[in-house]
């Protein structure tokens, strides 16, 4: 009888060597591993991230500029059907003030995130992107505004947007249909991701760990999809229930599983920009630090005006103060330094993109 621990280590070694293990091997690794396996995975994940990005941890200023959304994802607190959500939209001036404040705090990437709010037309967002780029030409803009037309994505890219985050949520069409109403589809979301990559965005996909109805097979689908897409960024955080959604009362994803997935994804995509997410910091006070120790290399503190932070209520108890607040960068710097890494101000581009730009 082969020893399971040894088998898992062999699968981890193969990931480290750049190979994609078989579905059954990945499934066993995900469902049946020891603490020792996890420590081994994290050790290799740190080696790989240090080869790619040294000890740097990049920071992004997150501006949650609208919580209006046309969609009705069953897990999300800003879903259209949540009549308890207190809706807001930042004005152009408020968005610019967030970026100006972020710039003076040292941020060189602004992430403009919101629900799928059609008030922000192609033209309106082009104007906002152009204004920010003119004022802060040394900064990167990341958009995260959901599924839109190809021509919108193209126009925003041509206006100066650099990156786009669109989690695929789950790569299994069957699972996708259990998390979303019939008018949404996994196929369309994936198609958007291919379009974004094709246009030239540094593109981010990702999913929630422990979402309702997720099985080990779904996670294997997610890992295979990420390997196929080869995104520049991957957003992986635990699912956390929100009280006004159909999934209120469901269990959260676990810290342990999320960390393990981060480690695997670091080996699968060595150069990926991998955030230790807010959701990870919400389920455990040291969640983000542990994310960094499992292979993550990005943190995204909140730059939104304090008055709207509790309205962007994707899930219960979402943190937005302390080192989660962009205003507390010194606190964040210390927390990051305690892990042995360094907080870096600077755009923090995907490695190969940076090499292309600078000829490094
Ligand atoms: N509208 C954009 C989109 O569709 O990508 C961006 C905003 S959306 C709210 C950002 C992400 O929040 C989603 O991709 C989802 O993975 C995450 N999210 C939503 N509800 C969540 C929950 N209950 N627990 C954890 N993450 C959640």
Ranges of H-type helices in the chain? 4-16, 23-31, 35-53, 92-105, 122-135, 150-159, 173-179, 186-199, 216-229, 255-268, 278-283, 287-293, 306-309, 329-337, 351-358
Is 167 close to ligand 1, i.e. is its CB under 6 Å away? Answer: yes
Q: Please report the pLDDT score of residue 360 as a whole number.
A: 55
Q: Is the CB of 46 under 6 A from ligand 1?
A: no
Can you give the pTM of this predicted structure? 0.96
List per-residue pLDDT tens for the chain, 360 residues long: 444 445 999 999 999 999 999 999 999 999 999 999 999 999 999 999 999 999 999 999 999 999 999 999 999 999 999 999 999 999 999 999 999 999 999 999 999 999 999 999 999 999 999 999 999 999 999 999 999 999 999 999 999 999 999 999 999 999 999 999 999 999 999 999 999 999 999 999 999 999 999 999 999 999 999 999 999 999 999 999 999 999 999 999 999 999 999 999 999 999 999 999 999 999 999 999 999 999 999 999 999 999 999 999 999 999 988 778 888 999 999 999 999 999 999 999 998 766 666 665
- The Å distance, Cα 104 to ligand 1 centre, comes to 28
Distance 13 CA to ligand 1 centre (A): 32
239 Cβ closer than 6 Å to some ligand 1 atom? yes
d(CA 259, CA 255): 6
């Amino acid at each position: 009888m082969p020893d399971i621990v040894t088998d898992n280590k062999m699968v981890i070694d193969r990931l480290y060597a750049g190979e994609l293990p078989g579905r059954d091997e990945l499934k066993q690794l995900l469902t049946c591993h020891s603490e020792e396996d996890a420590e081994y995975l994290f050790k290799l994940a740190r080696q790989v991230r240090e080869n790619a990005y040294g000890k740097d941890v990049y920071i992004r200023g997150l501006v949650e500029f609208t919580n209006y959304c046309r969609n009705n994802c069953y897990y999300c607190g800003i879903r259209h059907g949540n009549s308890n959500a207190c809706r807001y939209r930042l004005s152009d001036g408020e968005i610019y003030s967030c970026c100006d404040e972020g710039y003076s705090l040292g941020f060189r990437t602004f992430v403009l995130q919101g629900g799928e709010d059609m008030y922000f037309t192609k033209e309106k967002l082009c104007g906002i992107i152009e204004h920010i780029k003119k004022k802060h030409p040394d900064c990167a803009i990341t958009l995260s505004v959901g599924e839109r037309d190809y021509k919108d994505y193209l126009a925003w890219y041509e206006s100066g947007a650099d990156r786009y985050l669109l989690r695929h949520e789950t790569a299994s069409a069957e699972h996708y249909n259990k998390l979303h109403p019939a008018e949404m589809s996994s196929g369309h979301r994936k198609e958007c991701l291919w379009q974004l990559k094709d246009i030239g965005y540094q593109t981010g996909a990702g999913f929630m760990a422990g979402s309702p109805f997720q099985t080990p097979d779904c996670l294997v689908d997610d890992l295979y999809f990420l390997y196929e897409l080869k995104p520049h960024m991957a957003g992986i955080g635990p699912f956390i229930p929100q009280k006004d959604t159909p999934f209120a009362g469901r269990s959260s994803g676990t810290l342990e599983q999320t960390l393990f997935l981060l480690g695997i994804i670091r080996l699968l995509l060595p150069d990926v920009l991998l955030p230790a997410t807010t959701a990870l910091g919400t389920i455990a006070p040291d969640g983000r630090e542990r994310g960094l120790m499992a292979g993550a290399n990005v943190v995204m503190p909140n730059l939104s005006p304090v008055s709207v932070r509790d309205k962007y209520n994707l899930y219960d108890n979402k943190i937005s103060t302390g080192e989660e607040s962009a205003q507390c960068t010194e606190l964040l710097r210390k927390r990051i330094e305690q892990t042995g890494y360094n907080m870096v101000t600077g755009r923090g581009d995907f490695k190969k993109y940076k090499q292309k730009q600078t000829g490094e």
